[in-house]
């Protein structure tokens, strides 16, 4: 598929991490939920309690927890993991897959990153691309950030493709 040089999804809401720097995943899930459902008030603490904790502790975060959260609300979710070799090679192929999915699906994508120097995982919401730059909402900085991939700061480790549910419900 031939992609245009740039593409951006409009209307993806932005939320800062309620508990910086630990709630990046919860804020990312909140952005995607509200994009689909136009419902406000899904608290990041509710998401955290449901299994989306982003730091090591009682319920260490993993992508399965994020996917489980969306599935519990009736969303269809596909998790795509980067393999170790591609991560070592700078993950240009994985970035291309994110771009292809953004353009083909026209839906935001939850992306997991690994900090090369810090070793911390981080979660953002991809909303577009411009050439070799990913356009994303970063719960720890601002909406509409851009980052070139591959780079020496972050490795793309996984992403979640979330589809609009038939009916939007609140998590109980």
CATH, residue 53: 3.90.70.10
In this model, does residue 150 exceed pLDDT 70? no
Does 91 reside within a domain?
Answer: yes
Does 170 reside within a domain?
Answer: no
pLDDT score recorded for residue 66? 76
Q: HSE, CB side, 13 Å, CA atoms: give it for residue 117.
A: 3
By residue range, what is the domain housing residue 92?
A: 6-163
Q: Which long-range contacts (CB under 8 A, 24 or more apart) does 98-102 make?
A: 98/126, 98/129, 98/134, 98/156, 98/159, 99/3, 99/7, 99/129, 99/134, 100/1, 100/3, 101/159, 101/161, 102/7, 102/9, 102/126, 102/127, 102/128, 102/129
Which residues make Cβ contacts (< 8 Å) with residue 58, sequence separation at least 6? none
Number of compact structural domains in the chain: 1
Does 40 reside within a domain?
Answer: yes
In this model, does residue 57 exceed pLDDT 50? no
Higher per-residue confidence, 50 vs 112: 112
Which of these ranges, 7-21, 36-50, 132-146, 150-164, has the smallest mean pLDDT? 36-50
Average pLDDT over residues 129-157: 81
pLDDT score recorded for residue 142? 73
Does 172 reside within a domain?
Answer: no
What's the pLDDT band for 58 if we cut at 50, 70, 90?
A: very low
Spatial contact of 172 and 74, defined as CB atoms under 8 Å apart: no
Does 84 reside within a domain?
Answer: yes
pLDDT, one tens digit per residue, over 93-118 is 788 889 999 999 999 999 988 877 77
Does 145 reside within a domain?
Answer: yes
pLDDT, one tens digit per residue, over 19-38 is 776 788 888 988 998 999 88
Q: HSE, CB side, 13 Å, CA atoms: give it for residue 22.
A: 13
pLDDT, one tens digit per residue, over 123-141 is 899 999 998 888 999 998 8
pLDDT score recorded for residue 60? 42
Does 12 reside within a domain?
Answer: yes
Does 85 reside within a domain?
Answer: yes
In this model, does residue 170 exceed pLDDT 80? no
pTM: predicted TM-score of the whole model, two decimal places = 0.84
pLDDT, one tens digit per residue, over 60-95 is 445 567 777 788 778 888 888 877 655 555 567 788
């Amino acid at each position: 598929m031939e992609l245009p040089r740039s593409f951006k999804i409009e209307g993806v809401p932005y939320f800062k991490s309620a508990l910086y720097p630990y709630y990046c995943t919860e804020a990312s899930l909140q952005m995607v939920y509200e994009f689909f459902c136009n419902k406000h008030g899904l608290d990041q603490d509710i998401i955290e309690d449901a299994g989306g904790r982003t730091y090591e502790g009682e319920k260490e975060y993993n992508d399965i927890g994020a996917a489980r959260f969306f599935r519990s609300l009736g969303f269809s979710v596909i998790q795509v993991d980067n393999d170790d070799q591609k991560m070592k090679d700078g993950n240009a192929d994985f970035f291309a897959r994110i771009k292809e999915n953004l353009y083909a699906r026209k839906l935001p994508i939850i992306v997991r990153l690994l900090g090369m120097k810090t070793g911390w995982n981080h979660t953002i919401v991809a909303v577009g691309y411009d050439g070799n730059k990913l356009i994303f909402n970063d719960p720890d900085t601002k909406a509409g950030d851009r980052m070139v991939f591959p780079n020496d700061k972050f490795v793309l480790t996984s992403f979640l493709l979330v589809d609009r549910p038939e009916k939007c419900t609140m998590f109980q």
